[in-house]
A and B are shown apart, each in its own frame.
Chain A
Amino acid sequence: QQQVKQSPQSLIVQKGGISIINCAYENTAFDYFPWYQQFPGKGPALLIAIRPDVSEKKEGRFTISFNKSAKQFSLHIMDSQPGDSATYFCAARSASGTYKYIFGTGTRLKVLA
Chain B
Amino acid sequence: NAGVMQNPRHLVRRRGQEARLRCSPMKGHSHVYWYRQLPEEGLKFMVYLQKENIIDESGMPKERFSAEFPKEGPSILRIQQVVRGDSAAYFCASSEGAENTEAFFGQGTRLTVV
Contact = CB atoms under 8 A, between A and B. Distances in A.
Interface in A86-102: 89, 95, 97-102
A95 B105 CA distance: 20
- Interface size range of chain B in the complex: 20 to 34
Contacts of B43: 44, 89, 103
A46 B105 CA distance: 8
Contact of B56 (A36, A42, A95, A97): A97
Contacts of A42: 107-108
Interface of B: 4, 6, 31, 33, 35, 41-45, 48, 55-56, 58-59, 91, 93, 98-99, 102-108
Contacts, number: 54
A105 interface: yes
Given A42-B107, A46-B104, A100-B59, 12 more contacts: A6-B42, A34-B102, A42-B108, A43-B6, A43-B108, A98-B55, A98-B56, A99-B99, A100-B58, A103-B45, A104-B42, A106-B42
Interface residues of A, number: 21
25 contacts: A6-B42, A36-B105, A42-B107, A43-B6, A43-B91, A43-B105, A44-B105, A46-B102, A89-B43, A98-B48, A98-B56, A99-B31, A99-B48, A99-B98, A100-B59, A101-B33, A101-B93, A101-B103, A103-B43, A103-B44, A103-B45, A104-B42, A105-B41, A106-B41, A106-B42
